[in-house]
C-alpha cells in the first residue's frame, strides 16, 4: 500500500485536474444525461489526455451508460476508470536483455531528463547484478558530460567518454568495442538534445545508429525517447520528429511529480503506440518506476485520504 500511496502522492496534481474534476462533476449531478457528458468532455479535453481520446472515452461512456442502464452519476467513475485502462492496453514494456551487451540509445531534447533517467536505470540494472556501461554521446556540453559521470559513479556503472567535441559516432564505436570485448551486459548511451554546430541532430543520430551496427549488428537494441510530462502536448511533436528518423522502441515519461499534465501518457500511447517502459516521479535515484498501466490508473483513482478526512471533518462540524 505504501507503494501506491507514494505513487498517488507524486501523481497528485494530475489526479486533481483530471480524475477529481470528473469525480466532482459526477457527484454534483442527479441524472446521467447529455449535459453531464458534454461537461465531462470539456474537462477531459483540458486534461492533456488528447482530444481524440477524450472524445472516444465520452462517446463510449454514453454508449455503455445506455447499454448497462446506468442511472446514478456516482456509478460512472468506475466506467471512466475502465475506459482509461482500456486506452492503455498494451502500453507496458519490459526491456528483454535478449543479447549482450544490450545497447540502449537514450534520446530526447535537452532538459527532459535523459541523463537522470540513465543514472536511475543504470542503478537499477546494477542492483540486478548487471555490468553496466554509461556512454557520453553528448560530447558538446562539458556540464552534461560531468553530470553524466556523477550519475554513473553514484549508480556503480562504468563511465565512458572522449574529449569534448569528439564525433559522437566515434565515441559509440569505441565504447561498443570495449563493452563487447569486456563482456558488459548493458550499455546506456546518452545523446545530445541539441547540437551547437550547424549539423543536424537527427542526421547525427542516424549516423550513430549506423556506426553501432558496425560493431554489434543488431545494436541499438532499444531506442528510448525521454519525454517531460510537464511539456504536455509538446511531447507529441517531439516523438513525431524523432520517430520519423530513428524508429523508437520505448518511451520514458519523466517529471510526473509536480505536473498536472500526466494525462499526456495516455495521449502519447494513443497517438504513437510506442510502449512506455518507465515513469519518472522525482529526482532521486529510486524515483524511476517500471510503468504499470494498472498501478498508474489505480493511483490516479485512489481516493485522496486527506480530502476524505477534511470532508468528514467538515460534515461532522455542520
Ligand atoms: N521532479 C523531477 N525532476 C526530474 C525528473 N527527471 C529529471 N528531472 C530533473 O530535470 C532536470 C533535467 O534533467 P537532465 O537529466 O539533465 O535532462 P537532459 O538534458 O535530458 O539530460 C534535472 O534537474 C533533473 O533533476 C523527474 O522524474 N522528476
Ligand atoms: Mg543530459
3-state SS, one letter per residue, for 292-313:
CHHHHHHHHHCCCHHHHHHHHH
Is residue 64 over pLDDT 80? yes
Shared domain for 53 and 113, answered yes or no, is no
Of ligand 1's listed atoms, the one at least distance from the Cα of 279 is 27
Q: Determine the distance separating the centroid of ligand 1 and the alpha carbon of 115, expressed in angstroms.
A: 7
Shared domain for 185 and 152, answered yes or no, is yes
Q: Determine the distance separating the centroid of ligand 1 and the alpha carbon of 113, expressed in angstroms.
A: 4
Is residue 193 over pLDDT 90? no
- Which triple of cell numbers denotes residue 4? 501506491
End residue of a domain, out of 60, 91, 122: 91
Q: Which DSSP category does 192 fall into?
A: -
- Which triple of cell numbers denotes residue 264? 499526456
Split into its structural domains, the chain has a count of: 2
Q: CA-based Rg of the chain, rounded to a whole angstrom?
A: 22
Shared domain for 109 and 194, answered yes or no, is yes
Shared domain for 69 and 146, answered yes or no, is no
Of ligand 1's listed atoms, the one at least distance from the Cα of 111 is 19
Pick the residue whose CA is nearest to atom 5 on ligand 1.
255
Q: How confident is the model at residue 111 (pLDDT cuts 50, 70, 90)?
A: very high
**Domain contains 315:** no
Shared domain for 171 and 28, answered yes or no, is no
Burial class (CB in 10 A: 0-12, 13-18, 19+), 62: middle
Question: Is-contact 113 144, C-beta < 8 A?
Answer: no
pLDDT for 2 equals: 78
**Domain contains 232:** yes
Is residue 197 over pLDDT 80? no
Rounded-to-integer distance, Cα 163 and Cα 185, Å: 25
Written as one string, the DSSP assignment of 75-127 is GHHHHHHHHHHHHTTT-B------SSSEEEEEE-STTSSHHHHHHHHHHHHHH
pLDDT for 304 equals: 74
Shared domain for 131 and 61, answered yes or no, is no
CATH classification at residue 53: 1.20.120.140
**Domain contains 172:** yes
What value does the mean pLDDT take over residues 80-97? 96
Q: Determine the distance separating the centroid of ligand 1 and the alpha carbon of 294, expressed in angstroms.
A: 25
Q: How confident is the model at residue 47 (pLDDT cuts 50, 70, 90)?
A: confident
**Domain contains 171:** yes
End residue of a domain, out of 72, 91, 110: 91
Q: Ligand 1 — pocket residues by CB below 6 A? A: 108, 110-116, 147, 193, 226, 254-255, 257-258, 280-283, 287
Helix (H, G, I), strand (E, B) or coil at 151: helix
Helix (H, G, I), strand (E, B) or coil at 215: helix
End residue of a domain, out of 91, 110, 140: 91
Lowest mean pLDDT among 207-211, 264-268, 304-308: 304-308
Rounded-to-integer distance, Cα 66 and Cα 156, Å: 57
pLDDT higher at 118 or 140: 118
pLDDT tens for residues 248-259? 999 999 999 999
Q: How confident is the model at residue 315 (pLDDT cuts 50, 70, 90)?
A: low
**Domain contains 175:** yes
pLDDT for 3 equals: 79
pLDDT for 194 equals: 81
Average predicted confidence (pLDDT) for the chain: 93
How would you classify residue 279: left for phi > 0, otherwise alpha for psi between -120 and 50, otherwise beta? Answer: beta
**Domain contains 151:** yes
- Name the closest ligand to CA 112: 1
Shared domain for 122 and 83, answered yes or no, is no
What value does the mean pLDDT take over residues 221-232? 97
pTM recorded for the entire structure: 0.94
Is residue 312 over pLDDT 70? no
pLDDT for 118 equals: 98
**Domain contains 287:** yes
* Domain range for 59: 2-91
**Domain contains 317:** no
Q: With DSSP H G I counted as helix, E B as strand and the rest as coil, what are the percentages for the chain, rounded to 5?
A: 55, 15, 35
Shared domain for 213 and 135, answered yes or no, is yes
CA atoms within 13 A on the CB side of 28: 11
Q: Determine the distance separating the centroid of ligand 1 and the alpha carbon of 255, expressed in angstroms.
A: 7
Q: How confident is the model at residue 198 (pLDDT cuts 50, 70, 90)?
A: low
Question: Is-contact 13 260, C-beta < 8 A?
Answer: yes
Q: Determine the distance separating the centroid of ligand 1 and the alpha carbon of 22, expressed in angstroms.
A: 30
CATH classification at residue 142: 3.40.50.300
Shared domain for 203 and 294, answered yes or no, is yes
Shared domain for 153 and 174, answered yes or no, is yes
Shared domain for 209 and 295, answered yes or no, is yes
Which one, of 255, 252, 293, 226, lies nearest residue 92 by Cα? Answer: 293
pLDDT tens for residues 169-190? 999 999 999 999 999 999 999 9
Rounded-to-integer distance, Cα 71 and Cα 75, Å: 8
pLDDT for 72 equals: 94
Shared domain for 133 and 81, answered yes or no, is no
Amino acid at each position: 500500500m505504501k507503494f501506491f500511496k507514494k505513487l498517488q502522492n507524486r501523481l497528485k496534481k494530475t489526479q486533481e485536474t483530471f480524475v477529481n474534476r470528473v469525480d466532482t462533476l459526477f457527484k454534483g449531478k442527479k441524472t446521467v444525461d447529455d449535459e453531464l457528458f458534454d461537461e465531462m468532455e470539456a474537462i477531459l479535453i483540458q486534461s492533456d489526455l488528447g482530444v481524440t481520446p477524450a472524445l472516444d472515452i465520452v462517446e463510449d461512456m454514453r454508449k455503455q451508460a445506455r447499454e448497462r442502464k446506468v442511472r446514478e452519476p456516482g456509478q460512472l467513475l468506475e466506467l471512466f476508470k475502465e475506459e482509461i485502462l482500456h486506452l492503455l492496453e498494451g502500453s507496458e514494456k519490459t526491456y528483454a536483455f535478449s543479447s549482450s551487451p544490450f545497447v540502449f540509445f537514450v534520446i530526447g531534447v535537452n532538459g527532459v531528463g535523459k541523463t537522470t533517467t540513465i543514472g536511475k536505470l543504470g542503478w537499477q540494472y546494477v542492483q540486478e547484478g548487471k555490468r553496466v556501461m554509461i556512454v557520453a554521446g553528448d560530447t558538446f556540453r562539458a556540464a552534461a558530460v560531468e553530470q553524466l559521470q556523477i550519475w554513473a559513479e553514484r549508480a556503480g556503472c562504468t563511465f565512458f567518454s572522449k574529449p569534448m567535441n569528439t564525433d559522437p559516432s566515434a565515441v559509440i564505436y569505441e565504447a561498443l568495442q570495449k563493452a563487447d570485448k569486456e563482456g558488459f551486459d548493458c550499455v546506456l548511451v546518452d545523446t545530445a538534445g541539441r547540437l551547437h554546430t550547424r549539423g543536424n541532430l537527427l542526421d547525427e543520430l542516424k549516423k550513430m545508429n549506423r556506426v553501432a551496427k558496425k560493431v554489434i549488428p543488431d545494436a541499438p537494441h532499444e531506442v528510448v525517447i525521454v519525454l517531460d510530462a510537464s511539456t504536455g502536448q509538446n511531447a507529441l511533436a517531439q516523438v513525431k520528429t524523432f520517430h520519423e528518423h530513428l524508429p523508437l522502441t520505448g518511451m520514458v515519461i519523466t517529471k510526473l511529480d509536480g505536473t498536472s499534465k500526466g494525462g499526456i501518457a495516455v495521449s502519447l500511447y494513443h497517438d504513437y503506440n510506442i510502449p512506455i517502459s518507465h515513469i519518472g516521479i522525482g529526482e532521486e535515484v529510486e524515483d524511476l518506476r517500471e510503468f504499470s498501466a494498472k498501478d498508474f490508473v489505480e493511483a490516479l483513482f485512489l481516493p485522496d485520504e486527506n480530502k476524505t478526512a477534511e470532508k468528514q471533518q467538515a460534515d461532522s462540524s455542520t
